[in-house]
């Protein structure tokens, strides 16, 4: 029987069914670590056959809901890439969990994000994620510039991008939800994924820049 004062823990695992992975290869080490440290594993969440680039998954969504209900205070994963292969999305999720008092431990990387070293590691990961986004953006801008130049020289009417789904109403809704202290992940969910995470971040960044530049004119 688990000790009444033991830390309530959740486990999360994700596997690719295409590669024939066994989910127990992740869960067994997690259970062993929990037993060794006297933790009480109260729930196990998993997603099978879902890409790590997608931050919306049935198992992960249930985990976040239960975390907000205070069902556990520690999440143990086998490896960071089991949570996600999108570094920024993973960091956003960790911050969202941290806001409700849930810490994360990753076995493979031997990182406990509740410690000072773990928090420093998260800062480094965030910097790497920001650099990655910047480099991708620069490559896209360069590629589009080359295409625009080629179109101009050939006389074609090629134009980049898709019709914008951004409307004043959606922009206002994003700002209202952010004002209500919702995370980017929560805003994306509240808007039923009408716009992407990147679009939400652009709206918030543009608003923040306007506030800094015209503090008396932006409500």
Q: Is 199 a catalytic residue?
A: no
Provide CB contacts within 8 A for 193, sequence distance 6+.
56
Catalytic residue among 16, 134, 196, 208: 16
Q: Which residues are catalytic?
A: 16
């Amino acid at each position: 029987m688990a000790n009444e004062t033991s830390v309530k823990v959740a486990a999360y695992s994700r596997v690719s069914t295409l590669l024939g992975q066994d989910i127990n290869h992740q869960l067994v080490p997690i259970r062993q670590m929990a037993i060794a440290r006297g933790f009480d594993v109260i729930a196990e969440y998993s997603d099978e056959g879902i890409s790590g680039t997608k931050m919306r998954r049935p198992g992960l969504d249930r985990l976040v809901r239960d975390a907000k209900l205070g069902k556990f205070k520690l999440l143990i994963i086998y490896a960071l890439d089991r949570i996600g292969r999108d570094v920024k999305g993973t960091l956003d999720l960790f911050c969202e969990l941290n806001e409700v008092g849930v810490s994360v431990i990753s076995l493979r990387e031997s990182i406990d994000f509740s410690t000072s070293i773990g928090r420093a590691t998260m800062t480094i990961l965030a910097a790497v994620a920001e650099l990655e986004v910047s480099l991708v953006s620069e490559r896209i801008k360069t590629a589009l510039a080359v295409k625009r130049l080629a179109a101009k020289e050939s006389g074609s009417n090629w134009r980049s991008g898709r019709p914008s789904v951004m409307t004043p109403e959606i922009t206002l809704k994003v700002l209202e939800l952010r004002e209500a202290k919702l995370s980017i992940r929560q805003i994306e969910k509240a808007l039923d994924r009408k716009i992407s995470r990147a679009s939400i971040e652009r709206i918030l960044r543009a608003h923040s820049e306007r506030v800094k530049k015209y503090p008396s004119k932006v409500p």
